């Protein structure tokens, strides 16, 4: 079954405020003065969203909503769903209706669609690189402010998974927490005392010595940060199934297979959401 058929859509109630705010930012105080001056009010048009390069699609619900909020008479017929792989020149959707409205909404629709498709495409590349290993690719909280839910959705569209959505999802003890607490054991004890019984606790470790302490104290997951492949392999062996293992730290599609070969359960990658290039998608008019 394809990702396009299994991916849960973003709720309209969640995305409408974001799309509405983006359109208002673009419309400013006087609206689209260019299209209003040049395009006759009664002119209808047929346009097509087209991929300019290969990739994976994400963000069609936002693009569709951008057109519909500008003019309810605009109709978007999707031909390639979110999660679908496309090639250069492939049609993604057909957009028909008042030409003025289509042009007014075009940039907002494409901004969302290109950015989120870029995140999905980058994720899919890393997922493909580790295929055959047991590791799952996940994102982080390194997201664009205000767009976290969208970018994490795009990661899922690319075949990846999500780490925490926020600070309230789970306890993640980082190096600064350990430093303030005075050590791994004390940080874990404080976290356990303050967390509810359903809250998972993960600890970031930089050395095998810290890992041993964490395992002796008891932890649900360990974040193995910036470790060499050799150290990662030793760390996974030390854990021996007693906790979930997660590798992180400047991982790319070219280095991901080596990281996955260590046997880690998860590979978390921040650049998927904060630095992935857009997927080039255009809107073309058809006769």
Task: Give the catalytic positions in this structure.
Answer: 107, 142, 174, 204, 225
Q: Using DSSP, state whether 17 is helix, strand or coil.
A: helix
Note every long-range contact of 30-34, with CB atoms under 8 Å and residues 24 or more positions apart, other chains counting. Answer: 31/104, 32/100, 32/103, 32/104
Partners of residue 102 on adjacent β-strands = none
Distance of CA 77 to the CA centre of its chain: 24
List the structure tokens of 156: 């899922």
Q: Largest Cα–Cα distance of the chain, in whole Å?
A: 73
Q: Distance from first CA to last CA of the chain, Å, rounded?
A: 36
Q: Are 86 and 121 in contact (CB under 8 A)?
A: no
Please state, in angstroms and rounded to a whole number, the distance separating the CA atoms of residues 258 and 104: 47
Which of 122, 119, 117, 120 is closest to 93 using CA atoms?
117
Partners of residue 94 on adjacent β-strands = 48, 77
| E-assigned strand segments in 128-250 | 136-138, 171-173, 201-205, 221-225, 244-248
Please state, in angstroms and rounded to a whole number, the distance separating the CA atoms of residues 268 and 202: 13
Q: Are 202 and 231 in contact (CB under 8 A)?
A: no
Please state, in angstroms and rounded to a whole number, the distance separating the CA atoms of residues 205 and 173: 9
């Amino acid at each position: 079954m394809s990702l396009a058929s299994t991916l849960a859509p973003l709720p309209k109630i969640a995305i409408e405020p974001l799309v509405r705010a983006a359109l208002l930012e673009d419309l400013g105080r006087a609206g689209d003065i260019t299209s209003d001056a040049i395009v006759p009010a009664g002119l209808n048009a047929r346009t097509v969203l087209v991929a300019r390069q290969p990739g994976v699609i994400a963000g069609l619900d936002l693009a569709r909503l951008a057109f519909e909020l500008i003019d309810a008479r605009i109709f978007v017929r999707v031909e390639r769903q979110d999660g679908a792989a496309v090639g250069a020149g492939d049609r993604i959707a057909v957009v028909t209706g008042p030409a003025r409205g289509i042009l007014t909404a075009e940039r907002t629709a494409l901004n969302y669609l290109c950015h989120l498709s870029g995140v999905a495409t980058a994720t899919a590349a890393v997922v493909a690189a580790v295929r055959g290993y047991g590791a799952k690719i996940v994102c982080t909280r390194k997201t664009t402010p205000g767009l976290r839910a969208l970018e994490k959705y795009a990661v899922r569209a690319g075949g990846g998974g999500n780490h925490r959505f926020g600070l309230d999802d789970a306890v993640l003890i980082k190096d600064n927490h350990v430093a303030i607490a005075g050590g791994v054991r004390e940080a874990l004890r404080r976290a356990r005392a303050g967390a509810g019984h359903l809250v998972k606790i993960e600890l970031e470790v930089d050395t095998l010595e810290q890992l041993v302490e964490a395992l002796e104290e008891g932890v649900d997951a360990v974040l193995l940060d910036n470790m060499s492949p050799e150290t990662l392999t030793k760390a996974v062996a030390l854990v021996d199934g007693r906790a979930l293992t997660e590798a992180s730290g400047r991982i790319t599609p070219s280095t991901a297979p080596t990281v996955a070969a260590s046997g880690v359960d998860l590979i978390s990658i921040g650049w998927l959401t904060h630095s992935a290039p857009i997927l080039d998608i255009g809107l073309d008019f058809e006769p």
